[in-house]
Every structure is written in structure tokens, then in C-alpha cells.
């Protein structure tokens, strides 16, 4: 919808009727003030833009304007969004460093019937922030919890990376220290899904080098400054991306998307038989099937049936 279309749509609603001073719940869109009702009591999880301030829903604007209080990570960041849409709802900090002290007060306000909106600095709350503890506590206290979906760096990166999305694993930020980072990468290497990671510019080169070493040959994408003026998507082999990272732009916010591990080629029937015969000569049928399944990735039921056939062909039953 163009700004002109939006103006026409708003004009159909008639001129806004403003509430008395001090009682107004309003936001401004394309120069028009739009009055809203007070949000329903409870905790509202509101997704906010990850960069472009236009990436916010009308429902989110109505809730932010209609809430009694907005709990945010950094009031300076959230204030930019509220100023854009002329929303005057009070802000209160809720972040990693004050959550233990701030949470009881927010719960007390919810118990008194307040409508509280929870936002993060960017994107959908609870992704790499302390919001889940507040949501859990609100549920346990019996307060309504509502989600208002919207922008997400994770989903935006998946949508633009051109990599499989049927299964993905969000791993957040890797540890900053080299040893811990490499250990975590070794754990992620076993996950049969596309990986999504957040990373900062100063650590990008080192992280990509460790990922290339720890994950091997995989397709990947570096997604920088999503939805912002300098948005950039770099795709390629993980090793090539790691090698070129030092020459690329390292300023901004990054999402790394890494394709799943390539499936190993299945052994031929004769190779499978050889593996089974060698294992059956040493261990029980059950253990032989387990060994070959681990090596080949073949289904155990298929291997079990073939192991039985090979045992009969050899003239004696293998121990089970």
C-alpha cells in the first residue's frame, strides 16, 4: 500500500476524535492521528522492526499505543520507534541486568490489571533475550499472554539465504572464546538441519574460519544488515565465504545460515554384505547391525533382515 492509498483509507474513517488531554491513546500514521482503545489486560509480546521502521503491523501499533506500559531492553532504541509513530506510552527497562528486580514489579502490575507490552530492541521478543522468564512467570500467575507476530531476523535470513528450510536449528550467538566456540561447533556438526547463527562484526572472520574447519563443505549465506539500507546477502561454500570474509564488510549485524550436512553415499549391496559378514564374525547379530548402521546410516530394520539372511547362508545362526 502506498502512502497515498493509506491516506485514502484513513480518510474513509472520518476525522479522528481525540481523547481528553492526559487520556489519549493514539498513534500517528502518514500524518494522521488514530485513536485506539486501551489494550486488554495481560502481557502482550510485540514484534518490532529489525531495521526498517516501516516493518511493523497495525496491530502492533494499536497495542503499543493502547498499553499502560511498555517493557523494553533499551529505552533509547524503543523511543525511536515510538517517536516515529508518535506513541506516548511510558517505557520501563527490562533486560539481562535488571530482570530479576524488574520482573516482580511487572507481575504486580499485571495482577492489578495492567496491559503491558514486551518488546526487544529489534525483532521478535524472547529470541536471545530474557523475556521467556517473564512469560513463564506470567503464565504461572494466571495472566493472559498474547503474541503479536512480526519481523524476525532468523526467519528473514532463512527466507533470503536460498538454503533448505524444512528443518532448521537456531543456535544464537556462539561463545566468544575460541576453545568454547570450537566445542560448540563440534556439537552443531551432528545436527541434520540448516543452522542459523547470530554474530557480531568483530568476531565474524574468526567464527567463519572455525565453522569452515568444524563443519566441512557446506553451502552457506552471510546475511548482513537485513531490512536496512546496506542489506547484503553473500552466498557460497562455507570455506570460500570464510576465506573472503576478511576482505568483505565487517560492520553491521550478521545472521549466518549454513546448510545441513551432505548425506554420505550409501554403500552398495556387496559392500554392505561385506561389512555385515565382518561384524557377524566378531559380535552378536544385534551388535553387528548396530555397528553397520552407525557406519552407513542405513535403517536398522533393513540391515537386521539382511544379517539374518547372511547367517542362514553361512549355515549357522548368528547369536542375537
Q: Is 25 inside any structural domain?
A: yes
Q: Determine the pLDDT at residue 314.
A: 72
pLDDT at 279: 87
So what's the pLDDT on residue 268?
87
**Average pLDDT value for the chain:** 89
Of 95, 126, 151, which closes a domain? 151
The residue segments making up the domain with residue 282 are 269-313
For residue 50, the Cα-to-chain-centroid distance in whole angstroms is 12
Residues 147 and 171 in one domain: no
118, 180: one domain: no
Q: Do residues 254 and 273 share a domain?
A: no
Check which CATH number belongs to the domain holding 121 and give it. Answer: 3.40.1010.10
Domain boundary among 92, 120, 151: 151
Structure-model confidence comparison of residues 274 and 68, the more confident one: 68
In this structure, is residue 293 part of a structural domain?
yes
Q: What is the pLDDT of residues 255-266, one digit of tens each?
A: 999 999 886 667
The answer to whether residue 9 sits within a structural domain is yes
- Tell me the β-bridge partners of 220: 236, 258
Q: Taking residues 70-83, report their average pLDDT.
A: 97
Q: Final residue of a domain: which of 235, 258, 281? A: 258
Q: Report whether pLDDT(107) > 90.
A: yes
Same domain, 137 and 208: no
- Same domain? 222 vs 300: no
Is residue 20 very low, low, confident or very high in pLDDT (cuts 50, 70, 90)?
Answer: very low
Q: Is residue 210 part of a domain?
A: yes
| 136 and 37, same domain (yes or no) | yes
DSSP assignment of 199-234 equals: EEGGGHHHHHHHHHHHH-S-EEEEEESTTSTT-EEE
* pLDDT given at position 265: 66
pLDDT level of residue 71 (50, 70, 90 thresholds): very high
Q: Is the pLDDT reported for residue 273 higher than 80?
A: yes
Cβ-count burial of 95 within 10 angstroms (0-12 exposed, 13-18 middle, 19+ buried)? Answer: middle
Determine the pLDDT at residue 278.
87
Mean pLDDT of 100-108: 97
Of the two residues 73 and 16, the one the predictor is more confident about is 73
Q: Is residue 318 situated within a structural domain?
A: no
What confidence tier does 173 reach under pLDDT thresholds 50, 70, 90?
Answer: very high
Same-domain check for residues 8 and 135: yes
Contact 198, 226 (CB under 8 A): no
CATH of the domain at 249: 3.30.950.10
Residues 6+ apart with CB under 8 A from 192: 167, 260, 261
Asked whether residue 54 is domain-assigned, the answer is: yes
pLDDT band per the 50, 70, 90 thresholds, residue 318: very low
- Same domain for 165 and 241? yes
Domain presence at residue 263: no
The secondary structure of residue 122, as a DSSP letter, is S
Our count of domains for the chain comes to: 3
Amino acid at each position: 500500500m502506498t502512502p497515498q492509498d493509506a491516506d485514502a483509507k484513513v480518510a474513509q474513517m472520518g476525522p479522528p476524535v481525540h481523547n481528553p488531554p492526559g487520556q489519549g491513546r493514539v498513534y500517528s500514521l502518514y500524518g494522521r492521528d488514530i485513536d485506539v482503545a486501551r489494550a486488554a489486560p495481560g502481557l502482550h509480546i510485540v514484534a518490532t522492526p529489525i531495521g526498517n521502521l516501516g516493518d511493523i503491523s497495525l496491530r502492533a501499533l494499536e497495542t503499543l499505543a493502547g498499553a499502560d506500559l511498555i517493557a523494553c531492553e533499551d529505552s533509547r532504541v524503543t523511543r525511536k520507534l515510538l517517536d516515529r509513530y508518535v506513541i506516548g506510552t511510558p517505557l520501563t527497562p527490562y533486560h539481562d541486568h535488571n530482570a530479576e528486580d524488574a520482573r516482580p514489579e511487572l507481575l504486580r502490575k499485571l495482577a492489578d490489571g495492567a496491559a503491558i507490552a514486551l518488546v526487544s530492541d529489534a525483532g521478535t521478543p524472547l529470541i536471545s533475550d530474557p523475556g521467556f522468564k517473564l512469560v513463564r512467570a506470567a503464565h504461572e500467575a494466571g495472566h493472559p499472554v498474547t503474541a503479536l507476530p512480526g519481523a524476525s531476523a532468523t526467519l528473514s535470513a532463512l527466507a533470503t539465504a536460498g538454503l533448505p528450510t524444512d528443518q532448521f536449528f537456531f543456535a544464537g550467538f556462539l561463545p566468544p572464546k575460541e576453545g568454547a566456540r570450537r566445542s560448540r561447533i563440534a556439537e552443531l556438526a551432528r545436527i541434520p538441519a540448516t543452522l542459523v547463527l547470530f554474530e557480531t562484526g568483530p568476531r565474524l572472520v574468526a567464527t567463519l574460519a572455525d565453522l569452515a574447519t568444524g563443519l566441512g563443505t557446506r553451502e552457506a549465506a552471510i546475511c548482513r544488515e537485513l531490512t536496512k539500507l546496506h542489506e547484503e546477502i553473500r552466498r557460497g561454500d562455507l570455506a570460500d565465504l570464510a576465506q573472503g570474509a576478511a576482505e568483505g564488510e565487517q560492520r553491521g549485524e550478521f545472521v549466518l545460515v549454513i546448510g545441513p550436512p551432505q548425506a554420505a553415499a550409501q554403500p552398495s549391496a556387496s559392500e554392505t554384505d561385506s561389512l555385515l559378514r565382518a561384524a557377524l564374525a566378531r559380535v552378536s547379530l544385534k551388535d553387528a547391525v548396530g555397528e553397520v548402521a552407525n557406519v552407513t546410516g542405513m535403517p536398522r530394520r533393513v540391515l537386521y533382515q539382511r544379517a539374518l539372511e547372511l547367517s542362514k547362508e553361512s549355515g549357522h545362526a548368528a547369536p542375537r
